């Protein structure tokens, strides 16, 4: 065996250079605004502008559509490094991928030529409309309808908990196109533009965390769109949506390990400075054990995410399992590490003087969106039982 046989277990020089570049950008251009973004529940425009200027806002877009063509691992590194300082800002590249990936996976070249270049240039953002009030984990129970009317489709209904709704110009929307058809095989995917007649967004949700990323309902009141906005084949929308999630759950794992790393960084800096009983609290064995457990869990989750990203790039047959496992492990780890960081900072960890409490609040959503971690365990179990 040669040294190159082990390249799987280390980042390439290109990935390391990318990580350094994004980390510098994040600390210089995003971190200074993170607390204010959270405090005022405002969109992180400074982060958006910095990410667009550096081509990090939608790095996954292929070169043939004016993008930089970053691979799945590179995209995860971008999201991880941004999440390290601001989880809300990390949802810019993450949701641009989520919203546009159904188009990349199933759309015609004409549709891609129309919608991907503006995304790549930073002129438009993409969101994803799958969940509804009564169709969260049970996506096939959705009620939103799309009815053909001549050379148009007319959409009626709503979508819930849509990230960056009201900011994005484009939306991938799933709707029932055959109410009498077989459940799950009667759903199709469409692109809706923010200017389409009959489309609007609801009021911003008031949330525990990721307050800088607006979350709203999408509302369709006889929303008319041209028939060529259909993505892929009629009735294949849910299949396309679930295929998309196999890939994008990995990016949520990346966001989670970024949040966890930010919390560990904070905790390490604090315990080396804080003194009690005449010495640094970092010198107490109990503190050292906590730090070791935090770092060990974080590194295990990071490796799972990176392996899943590699499988995403290759389109491996076991991506469904690894995508669910990466998201589940990383988000559970992020919740534990951020909670421990708050504990290590003591009373200061509970105040807004330090970002520990924000990191903990932001971490929670990673266990919920793009499929709760209970759903991820069901997905993994089904993959195991299917052999």
Which residues face 219 on adjacent strands? 158, 200
Q: What is the mean pLDDT of each run of 10 residues along the chain (387 residues)?
A: 58 96 98 98 98 98 98 98 98 98 98 98 98 94 97 98 98 97 96 98 98 98 98 97 98 98 98 97 98 98 97 97 98 98 98 97 98 97 96
Q: Which residues are catalytic?
A: 370
CATH 1.20.140.10 holds for 239-385: yes
Residue 236: strand, helix, or coil: strand
pTM of the model: 0.97
Q: Which one-letter DSSP state was computed for residue 289? A: H
SS3 assignment, position 287:
helix
- Distance of alpha carbon 10 from alpha carbon 18, whole angstroms: 14
Instruction: Determine the Cα angle at 136 with ends 133 and 142, to 5°.
Output: 70
Hey, which CATH number is domain 126-235, 3.50.50.60, 2.40.110.10, 3.30.70.3270, 2.60.40.10? 2.40.110.10
Buried b (16+ CB within 10 A) or exposed e, 276-305: eeeeebbeeeebeebbeebbebbeebbebb
| Per-residue DSSP letter, 140 | G
Q: At what angle do helices 31-39 and 356-365 cross, to 10 degrees?
A: 70
CB neighbours of residue 348 within 10 Å = 14
- Strand, coil or helix: 318: coil
b/e per residue 56-80 (b: at least 16 CB within 10 A): bbbbbbeeebebbebbbbbbbbbbb
Confidence (pLDDT) at 249: 98
pLDDT of residue 1: 52
So what's the pLDDT on residue 57? 98
Locate tokens 């159904």: which residue? Answer: 102
b/e code 361-370 from CB counts within 10 Å (16+ = b): bbbbbbbebb
pLDDT of residue 10: 86
Would you list the DSSP string of 172-211? EEEEES-TTSPTTSSEEEEEEETTSTTEEE-PPP--SS-T
Can you spell out the DSSP letters for 91-135?
Answer: HHHHHHHHHHHHHHHH--HHHHHHHHHHHHTTS--EEEE--BTTB
How far, rounded to the nearest angstrom, does the alpha carbon of residue 34 sit from its chain's CA centroid?
Answer: 18
> In whole angstroms, how far apart are CA 196 and each of 123, 170, 179, 271?
17, 10, 24, 54
Do the beta carbons of residue 122 and residue 91 sit within 8 Å? Answer: no
Token reading at 158: 């709503």
DSSP string, 247-281: HHHHHHHHHHHHHHHHHHHHHHHHHHH-EETTEEG
Give the C-alpha separation, 313 to 324, whole Å.
15
pLDDT of amino acid 338? 99
Q: Which residue has the tokens 């028939």?
A: 227
Per-residue tokens: 294: 């935090």
Distance CA 8, CA 142 (A): 41
C-alpha 152/C-alpha 148 separation (Å) is 6
The domains of the chain are located at: 3-120, 126-235, 239-385
Q: Which CATH superfamily is domain 3-120 in?
A: Acyl-CoA dehydrogenase/oxidase, N-terminal domain (1.10.540.10)
pLDDT value at position 4? 52
Integer angstrom CA distances of residue 244 from 25, 157, 241, 323, 367: 28, 22, 5, 11, 18
């Amino acid at each position: 065996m040669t040294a190159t046989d082990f390249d799987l277990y280390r980042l390439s020089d290109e990935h390391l250079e990318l990580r350094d570049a994004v980390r510098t950008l994040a600390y210089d251009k995003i971190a200074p605004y993170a607390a204010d973004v959270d405090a005022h529940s405002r969109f992180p425009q400074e982060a958006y502008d910095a990410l667009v200027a550096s081509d990090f806002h939608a790095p996954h877009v292929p070169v043939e559509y004016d993008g930089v063509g970053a691979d799945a691992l590179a995209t995860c590194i971008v999201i991880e490094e941004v999440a390290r300082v601001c989880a809300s800002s990390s949802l810019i590249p993450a949701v641009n991928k989520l919203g546009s990936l159904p188009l990349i996976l199933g759309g015609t070249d004409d549709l891609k030529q129309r919608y991907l270049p503006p995304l790549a240039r930073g002129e438009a953002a993409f969101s994803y409309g799958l969940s509804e009030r009564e169709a969260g984990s049970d996506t096939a129970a959705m009620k939103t309808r799309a009815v053909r009317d001549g050379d148009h489709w007319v959409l009626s209904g709503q979508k819930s908990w849509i990230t960056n709704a009201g900011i994005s110009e484009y939306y991938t929307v799933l709707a029932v196109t055959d109410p009498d058809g077989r459940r799950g095989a009667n759903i199709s995917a469409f692109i809706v533009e923010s200017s389409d007649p009959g489309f609007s967004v609801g009021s911003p949700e008031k949330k525990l965390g990721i307050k800088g990323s607006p979350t709203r309902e999408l509302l369709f009141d006889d929303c008319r769109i041209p028939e060529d906005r259909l993505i892929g084949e009629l009735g294949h929308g849910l299949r396309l949506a679930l295929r998309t999630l196999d890939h994008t759950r990995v990016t949520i794992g990346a966001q989670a390990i970024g949040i966890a790393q930010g919390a560990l960084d904070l905790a390490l800096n604090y315990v080396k400075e804080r003194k009690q009983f005449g010495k640094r609290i970092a010198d107490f064995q109990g503190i050292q054990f906590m730090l070791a457990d935090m770092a060990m869990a974080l590194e295990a989750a990071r490796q799972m995410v990176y392996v899943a990203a590699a499988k995403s790039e290759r389109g491996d047959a076991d991506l469904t399992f690894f995508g669910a496992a990466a998201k589940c492990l990383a988000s559970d780890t992020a919740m534990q590490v951020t909670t421990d960081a708050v504990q290590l900072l003591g009373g200061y960890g509970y105040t807004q003087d330090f970002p520990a409490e924000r990191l903990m609040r932001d971490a929670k959503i990673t266990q919920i969106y793009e499929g709760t971690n209970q759903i991820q365990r069901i997905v993994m179990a089904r993959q195991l039982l299917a052999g």
